[in-house]
Amino acid sequence: MWKVVWATLLLLATVCAQRGYAKETKGAPKVGHVSVVIVGGTGDLAKKYLWQGFFHLYANQVSSGYSFSFYGGGLLPKDKATPFLFEALKGVVCPRELSVERCALVKEQFLKLAGYWQLKTSEDYQALGNHLTEQLTQEGLVEAGRLFYLSVPAFAYADIAERINNSCRPTDGAWLRVVLEKPFGHDFSSAQLLSTQLGTSLKDEEMYRIDHYLGKQVVSKILPFRRENSKHLDPIWNKHHIERVEIVLKETLDARGRIPFYDQYGVIRDVIQNHLTEVMTLLTMGLPANMSDVKEVLRNKLKIFSALQHLDRNCATIGQYQNYNLEVQEELNKTKEYYSLTPTFAGIMVHIDIAQYEKMPIILTSGKMLDERLGYARILFKNDIFCVQSHNSVHCKPKQIVFYFGHGTLQYPAILVSKNLFKPDLMDTEWKEVTEHKDVSVLGMPISDYYVLTPTVQREAYAELILHIFQGRKDSFISTENLLASWGFWTPLLHGLAKTSPRLYPGGADNGNMLDFKLLGREVTFANEAVIMITQDHMGGSGARSFQVMQGKYRSAEMVSAWPEELIVRLAGDLQAAAEKAVREGGRFHLALSGGSSPLALFQRLAHHHYSFPWRDTHVWMVDERCVPLTELDSNFRTLHDHLLQHVKMPYFNIHPMPVQMNQRLCVEEDSGAMLYERDINQLVNASSFHFVLLGVGYDGHTASLFPGSKLDAHGDSLVALTESPAKPHQCMSLTLRAINQAQKVGVLVMGKSKHELVTQLSRVKDNPNKWPITGIRPTSGRLVWYIDYDALLG
């Protein structure tokens, strides 16, 4: 019964002579007993951060007249959960300023004050509420308040809040504070619903939505730094002087172990909508006249949200590390046919529509499985100095301010100001200037080129925020208005990206420059085309396939890959772009199309969506044709006509079917059909070089009607030849390798899961046109682009 009183008295006896009791002043927190309940007290977050944070609170506040009791709550019965709780409690570490003797004493008493309480039913919460009240009466304690930390999934918030409201409210005059961990919803509607549900049980001033990034010392220093250095920053903190703002969070870890949560949220919801967005508002909001005025800070943040320009899918690039889908299949028990579109990487450009920042890009980017663990916000200023000779001079280097959150090469939190900008002012003793440096570089510049400020004492973010909760400070927490404004901004982009295929990347240093993106007006695109080389490994004998993403090449050529529908959209767009360019430059577009089933979706796309395609100036040629009458269903031309040509307006003399039927005979060499087609090509196509040739590839590696085992070298300089197919009808007419390789651009379209083994095999074989005719496609001066859908690529 008396453990709280005796523990407090014992500690007070050791410190009151040195420090004295903190006298309660007007407006200060009410001194008395504080009950702390961590719901989810045996979970990972509690083990890693929360118990450590509350231990620091206890160690720093118990000598100020407060008494405490701590409860880890959870679903398990007490006898099963208590060992897990105390295993976590034993790992807490004392603040640096405590002596060894005092540390041991404080830690011993903290363990005595902590216990486990099962919180599964409404009756459990009722019993806890009764216990807290009885403890106050029995031990003669005056209650200061009750603090509930909900370290549980967000779907449980509303029920737990209702139970706290019904059964666990403190006595009159004491405060109630309920801490909520992200995520606060999945989009605007769900966040609004959750806020409404919580509002029926808790007052807004009782809710503390925690974003641990706001507890990071560098992040909490952004506004004070801007104020302290306003004489330097006010003239240059605008679009005329700032080139761009970058807010970056890079992680090396994968999502393994968090997949059930992560696959619902992805990188934008997980860290960009909250952490990086909060940093953005701190960097761009107007400075409040009173930094501690929570309402003024909120008003200034909301002004930024109201000025943010609408985001659509063109404002973002997204990626997914290659093993993510396998992890999803394993942890969510999905079949091998399941493919997740959840992004694990995103690069996003934001603009603020106010005069101060108009057209100034703000880049927010984050990802898992990147090359290093690092977080920072960089303000890159324009440099108006042109250096003729001394390029290593400090004045020739980038002008920038870096809010360095930690990790990376520097390994400690810091604010760095390049020496060609200004020397920052130090206005308090909690920060110091670093004058002795290790030989490291930060964002491409030696550390010696910066003025470096760092906290005098480094403190953990959760410990900082727990102290703020105890003090009743709400300036480091997310209000309802702030939350809904953020979700209102991000939700349209999230919905726009919902069905977009992310770019696959291998992870770590192997990413190379695959994820680099470029800014084009208000659009963001990857700087390099993603090209995938396939390898197959057997992991643990399970036969699971692993696909390594390689930069820039598939069989030493460009490649575009996407889900089938998006791939066809891309190919159709590329065709129209090539047509418009050719017509603009030469008045004609010469397009050669192959048969087979793969291009049918393309034909339909061109016929029904590309109304501005320059058909009147386009000449359509055949890559190959079966030796059957052109009116029969087996005819490639019949397929082309039925699915494309009859739906578009083009002069009939611009259509060039292969002359496989002459003199009422099919493909008789004496009729010289191949020679006639070659003559037409020479007469009409400049330098006999088609602008675009579209090919497919068969299961045996054939392309056009050039088949394995054929003596392709025998075609010599011919552009058109009669060939033999192993399947009926055996006779065909085809463009030769020479005709195809003279083209300005050759596209190879490969679609469907049935082509997966072929794509895998082709990625390994060497060029051998007689065995694999497709390997003979090597444009002499043009481009080869592979268009492979994910079904063919991933199987």
Question: Where in the sequence numbering do the catalytic residues fall?
Answer: 275
Radius of gyration of the chain (CA): 34
| Among 628, 598, 610, residue whose Cα is nearest residue 752 | 598
CB 404 within 8 A of CB 455: no
Q: Cα(748)–Cα(782) distance, rounded to whole angstroms? A: 14
Which two three-digit tokens encode residue 722? 């009669």
Measured CA distances, 732 to 517, 656, 707, 746, 768 (Å): 46, 16, 10, 21, 22
CB 517 within 8 A of CB 525: yes
Measured CA distances, 11 to 51, 144, 383, 414 (Å): 20, 19, 58, 36
CB 352 within 8 A of CB 236: no
Q: Cα(317)–Cα(267) distance, rounded to whole angstroms? A: 12
Burial class (CB in 10 A: 0-12, 13-18, 19+), 583: middle
Which two three-digit tokens encode residue 773? 């005719």
Q: Cα(772)–Cα(770) distance, rounded to whole angstroms? A: 6
Which two three-digit tokens encode residue 420? 């060609």
Query: For residue 552, how far is the Cα from the chain centroid?
Result: 21
Q: Cα(257)–Cα(272) distance, rounded to whole angstroms? A: 20
For the sheet with 477-478, list strands across it.
114-118, 67-74, 33-39, 143-150, 175-181, 207-210, 477-478
| DSSP-assigned letter for residue 200 | T
Cβ-count burial 465-492 (b if 16+ within 10 Å, e if not): bbbbbbeeebbbbbbbebbbbbbbbbbe
Q: Cα(207)–Cα(178) distance, rounded to whole angstroms? A: 5
Which two three-digit tokens encode residue 705? 């009607």
Query: Which residues, in sequence order, are CB contacts of 237 under 8 Å at separation 6+?
Result: 226, 356
The C-alpha angle with vertex 182 and arms to 180 and 184, in degrees rounded to 5, equals: 85
| Residue 406 DSSP SS3 | strand
Query: Can you point out the beta strands (E) in 26-110?
Result: 33-39, 67-74
For 428-436, which contacts have Cβ atoms below 8 Å and span 24 or more sequence positions?
A: 428/224, 429/456, 430/455, 430/456, 430/457, 431/221, 431/455, 431/456, 432/456
Give Dmax (Cα) for the chain.
118
CB 251 within 8 A of CB 373: yes
Which two three-digit tokens encode residue 485? 């404004």
Q: Cα(726)–Cα(668) distance, rounded to whole angstroms? A: 18
Query: Which residues, in sequence order, are CB contacts of 677 under 8 Å at separation 6+?
Result: 656, 658, 659, 719, 720, 733
